[in-house]
Chain A
């Protein structure tokens, strides 16, 4: 009897692990068909380069910048941070595993024990805290450099965010989805207003990018961030970008690596499922 129960339990677990959350699969499918209809000439893989897939002139500028990327020194700094030993002799590899190429694509994921979405940057901070190190600031600088190095080592891997068969995980995904589609701020914009319905249109000189492919290239090095930074460092994390978007619509940004943005990332990154990591990258 005991054996039968265990067998049945194992079968259930196996099914649970392999089952795709239907709502996530539907959302991915409907976003893909939406953009296929909206931009019939844009190949699926091109969405990974964001708005540059939609405008030939901007694409030429972007390709020009990538010939001499402005962010290489900072990615090299990220590599130093990865290899550096903590005071206790451990390093980031102690938390994430020795193979740095197998880190980026595990995030975001659902942590069933702590009942929360884990992100790469969130776990970098957690690793520092667990080892008695002073944590990085959350949105730019060292955290973005290390994240950029880790992401660069996963280039070419296919994004596959999994929402497990767990009501709490599914609730976190739905919360992120709600965040994405809800109107917010004094200017009353949802994420979807710009990055679904009006993608491909111009807000002044800015071409609005489609949601599909957004997370393939983070952390990003943005020209507009570099102009603001004393040292010209344009790097920022995905949650820094979320905060910027919220401020632009005059909504109060949530805390980077907090529950709201982590749940949003869970949904948002799902919309890039099936696309290849190509990070870091330059954006206007």
Chain B
């Protein structure tokens, strides 16, 4: 997998240098847009409101009820597990204070996807 990804990444770099209309560049743009959207949802008080409880780089007046959002790739090698935690943290720990954002419909599936992509950059 690693070997396949690297040439692809290289191709993206090369092609984006060549043409802004190339498809792989659109994929990269799409990912960037997801991360941006995820950050917006995460910081919307009526949506994720993540920094009510979590610290992360750039968070203004964050809370400290939950653990800080750092080294997310190392802590969640499997991105699906991070998504599952955002979707319904009570599945792993029924006593958690973290709201089951996806399960109780505070966020849509797409919004959970976007926050996952953003959180994965932290």
Contact = CB atoms under 8 A, between A and B. Distances in A.
A204 B61 contact: yes
Contacts of B105: 186
A204 B52 contact: yes
A188 B65 contact: no
Interface residues of B, number: 15
Contacts of A188: 90, 99-100, 104
A193 B97 contact: yes
A201 interface: yes
A185 B63 CA distance: 21
B52 A186 contact: no
B104 A201 contact: no
A40 interface: no
Given A186-B106, A189-B97, A189-B99, A204 B51 contact: yes
A interface, by DSSP: helix, strand, loop or mixed? loop
A202 B104 contact: no
A197 interface: yes
A203 B52 contact: yes
A85 B86 CA distance: 59
Contacts of B12: none
24 contacts: A186-B105, A186-B106, A187-B99, A187-B104, A187-B106, A188-B90, A188-B99, A188-B100, A188-B104, A189-B97, A193-B97, A194-B97, A201-B64, A202-B62, A202-B64, A204-B51, A204-B52, A204-B61, A204-B63, A205-B61, A205-B63, A206-B63, A208-B65, A250-B106
A214 B85 CA distance: 33
B84 interface: no
Interface of A: 186-189, 193-194, 197-198, 201-206, 208, 250
A203 B99 contact: no
Nearest to B51: A204
Contacts of B106: 186-187, 250
Contacts of B61: 204-205
A203 B104 contact: no
Interface string B67-84: 000000000000000000
A34 to B, nearest CB: 15
A26 B63 CA distance: 32
Nearest to B89: A188
A186 B65 CA distance: 18
Contacts of B100: 188
A186 B105 CA distance: 8
A193 B63 CA distance: 15
B15 interface: no
A210 to B, nearest CB: 15
A208 B97 CA distance: 13
